[in-house]
Amino acid sequence: MEYAQGEVGRVFYARFDHGEDILAGLNGLAEKEKIRCGWFQLFGGLLSADVVIGPEQPVMPPEPVWQQVENAREVLGVGSIFYDGDKPLLHLHAAMGHHGETLTGCVRKHTEVYLVIEAVVYELQGMDITRPWFEKGGINRPTFHKK
């Protein structure tokens, strides 16, 4: 285990409206506000998204199993913001419900809002964490740097 200690800096409350791309919007917020390390929570409606629902087998690197989410689902998610070089990389895990059935996964792309999604973004200060490519794991993994 590795860890870093810091504190909460600025806090942003954002609303994303019907048809907007939630991941693109959060990326844009991170870039515009220069949020290098962050944590966010969101809730609302998700019309569609491409989601990884687990690995094919528990090996490294994993072969992701993709599922396209459609049909307007309620969503509750948490995620992090760290940079790889000069661009923010978001990592969002969410539970998405539709008519009593729930799907949980890593929300990766094509995230279209249904009606509205609200998000709270917490900037984390006093830490130097990036998300470079981790070859062995086949993922972009948080990496801690000494300040």
Computed on alpha carbons and rounded to an integer, the radius of gyration of the chain in Å comes to 16
pLDDT at 147 over 90: no
Cα distances from 109 to residues 3, 10, 66, 143, in angstroms, run 28, 26, 11, 23
Helix H or strand E encompassing 33? helix 22-33
Q: Could you tell me if residue 125 is left (phi over 0), alpha (psi between -120 and 50 degrees) or otherwise beta? A: beta
Phi first, then psi: give them for residue 32, nearest 5 degrees.
-60, -40
Question: Given 3.40.50.10320, 1.20.1070.10, 3.30.1330.80, 3.40.50.970, which CATH number is that of 7-145?
Answer: 3.30.1330.80
Measured between alpha carbons, how far is 11 from 5 in angstroms, rounded to an integer?
18
Residue 103 confidence (pLDDT): 96
Q: How confident is the model at residue 48 (pLDDT cuts 50, 70, 90)?
A: very high
**Omega of the bond leading into 61 within 30 degrees of 0 (cis):** yes
Q: How confident is the model at residue 113 (pLDDT cuts 50, 70, 90)?
A: very high
The domain ranges of the chain are: 7-145
SS3 at position 146: coil
pLDDT tens, position by position, 53-76: 999 999 999 999 999 999 899 999
Assessment of whether the complete model's pTM goes beyond 0.85: yes
pLDDT tens, position by position, 74-95: 999 999 999 999 999 999 999 9
Phi first, then psi: give them for residue 135, nearest 5 degrees.
-55, -50
Taking residues 97-114, report their average pLDDT.
97
Measured between alpha carbons, how far is 40 from 14 in angstroms, rounded to an integer?
10
Average pLDDT, the chain: 97
pLDDT tens, position by position, 5-37: 999 999 999 999 999 999 999 999 999 999 999
Q: How confident is the model at residue 146 (pLDDT cuts 50, 70, 90)?
A: confident
Residue 68 confidence (pLDDT): 96
Is the Cβ–Cβ distance between 26 and 35 less than 8 Å? Answer: no
